[in-house]
Structures are given as C-alpha cells and as structure tokens.
Amino acid sequence: MPEGRLNAMTVDVEDYFQVSAFEDVIAQSDWDTLSLRVEDNTNRLLDLFAQHNVKSTFFTLGWVAQRCPQLIKRIVAEGHELASHGLLHKRATTMSRQALFEDIKTSKDILEDISGQPVFGYRAPSFSINDSNTWAYEILKELGFVYSSSTYPIEHDLYGVPDWPRFKFVREEGIIEVPIPTVRKDGVNTGIGGGGYFRLYPYWLSKRRIEKYFREESAPYSFYFHPWEIDSEQPRVASAPLKSRFRHYVNLSRMEGKLVRLLQDYRWGTMIDAYEIEVAPTGHVA
C-alpha cells in the first residue's frame, strides 16, 4: 500500500450516450434503444479496484441503477460507497427547483431501495451547481444528504465557479461541499481532478501536477472519471461537434493503463473516508 494521505477515488457511473457533450445529438427518449455498456465497464473497474485494494465512491445515475441492479448490489457488497449522480444526467442549471428536487429524490430512492443502504453524497452532472442555483443545497438538505461534490472552481466553457472555495467547506444550509481539486498559479486555478485532461496528458505530467498539489496543500486529493473512459470500443457519435468528439474520444485506449498506475502510486478510499465526513444513520451530519 502506498504511503501518504488517503485520497478519494470517484466514478461517475453513466454510459457514453448520457454525457452532456452529446445531449444535443442523442435524445433521452432514445437511450433505451442504444447498447448498454456501463454495466460491463463498471464491473471491469470493480475488478481493477479489487486487485489494487482500492475503495471508491460511485456517483451513480438512477437511470443506470434501475437497469443494472446487480451492479449496484456488487458496489455496496464490495465495500464501496454508493452516491447519487441524479436521475437522468440533466444539468442542475437547466432545471427548475421542483424538477431538480424530483430528479434527486427519485435517484436517491432508487439507489437506496436497490442497495438497502442510505445514500449520503451527491454530485451534480457536469458540476452544475453555481451562483445561479445555490438553492440546490436546500434541496439536498431536505432530502437528507450530508455532502455534495458538485463544484469545480475553474474557468471552463461548460461549467466552473472560479471564485468559490477550493477545499471542503460547510454551506450555510448545512451541506458539506467538496470541490474538485485545483492547483493555483498566478491567482488562477487549474483543474487536476481527472476527466479529459488525464486522458490527454502523458501520465508523468498528470503525476507531476498531482505532486505539486501535495506539496502545496494539506487537503486530500480526489480523482473523478467515468466507466466509458476505459471503453475504446464504444460506438462513435459522428453527429456530435468536433470539439465534443475530441474531448470524449481522446486516448480512450490508454486510460486503463494510466488508471492502474494511479491506483498503484497513491492511497485511495471513499469520499466519506478521505474527507472524514461524519454521517449518522438518519443521513444528517453527526
């Protein structure tokens, strides 16, 4: 087991056709007509995590859980944390308060019914909590969540709250927010939490950026990615914009090898363990 601080490994459990980059070219009404690949890919990840003695938090779509109940049961049976990624991968910024409430509540109910365990964590699709919808935290509090990991304090064309806190903090609503990690240079935050840049960059460069974070910060590091990122054989969505296709498909064939090195180089656990988030059986902060 590598030495050093315990960090959070996280997986956003969604299929390739559910990503925000394809939402304008693949209708949600067509999802059930497409080949479901998320179950096999997530099982591959569970196998990898077992080989390397890694525990992870799986932020899972309710839509996926409904169709893959055995996958949900395996996640919890093997000691991982099950958390919510919403129901249909709709960005929180595109929904009314009532619609978001129903989306999150339904996802939580599905996950808890299948797993038989309480769900404490939530991640908004595409990190879509920002200054325009902070009322989302009131919803999370009402529904019994303890923490969220729904913000990325960077400038990005699709998301980002660059002036928000960079580290775990407690919102006035009582919800703990754990932002995606960044490094800071010349007053500007740069994301290092995973995603497309991890696939794009050679592993040595990603590791150098993570090591910079460890030198400069005492907080845990967290990493996020998706099951479709280890699936180089997934169908290509030719109608998507070129920029979206590049981001989605770059270095898919190299991702699993990089991930194995990441699992070997650092200590990994769940969000609750790495960030020492205390939870009570009722779903409220202890």
CATH class of 6-274: alpha beta
Mean pLDDT, all residues of the chain = 92
Here the tokens at position 252 are 């898919």
CA dihedral 188, 273, 73, 75 (to 10 degrees): 50
Residue 166 has pLDDT above 80, yes or no: yes
Strands (E), 14-163: 57-60, 81-84, 121-122, 147-148
**The residue to which tokens 């498909």 are assigned:** 249
Q: Taking residues 101-117, what's their average pLDDT?
A: 98
Is 258 in a helix, a strand, or coil?
helix
Distance of CA 198 to the CA centre of its chain: 14
Most confident of 7-21, 150-164, 189-203, 235-249: 7-21
Residue type, 127: F
In the chain, the N- to C-terminal Cα span, in Å, equals 30
Neighbours of 275 (CB within 10 A): 21
pLDDT in the model for residue 156: 61
Token reading at 106: 């339904």
| Domain residue spans of the chain | 6-274
In this prediction the pTM is: 0.94
Which runs of consecutive H residues, i.e. helices, occur in the chain? 38-51, 62-67, 69-77, 97-115, 136-142, 195-200, 203-216, 242-249, 252-265, 271-274
pLDDT for 26 equals 95
- pLDDT at position 285: 40
- The span from the CA of 270 to the CA of 276, in Å, is 10
Please tell me the distance from the alpha carbon of residue 92 to that of residue 139, in angstroms, as a whole number.
Answer: 12
Q: Which long-range contacts (CB under 8 A, 24 or more apart) does 47-51 make?
A: 48/256, 48/259, 48/260, 48/263, 49/9, 49/78, 49/80, 49/263, 50/78
120: enclosing H helix or E strand: none
- 204-235 pLDDT, tens digit each: 999 999 999 999 999 999 999 999 999 999 99
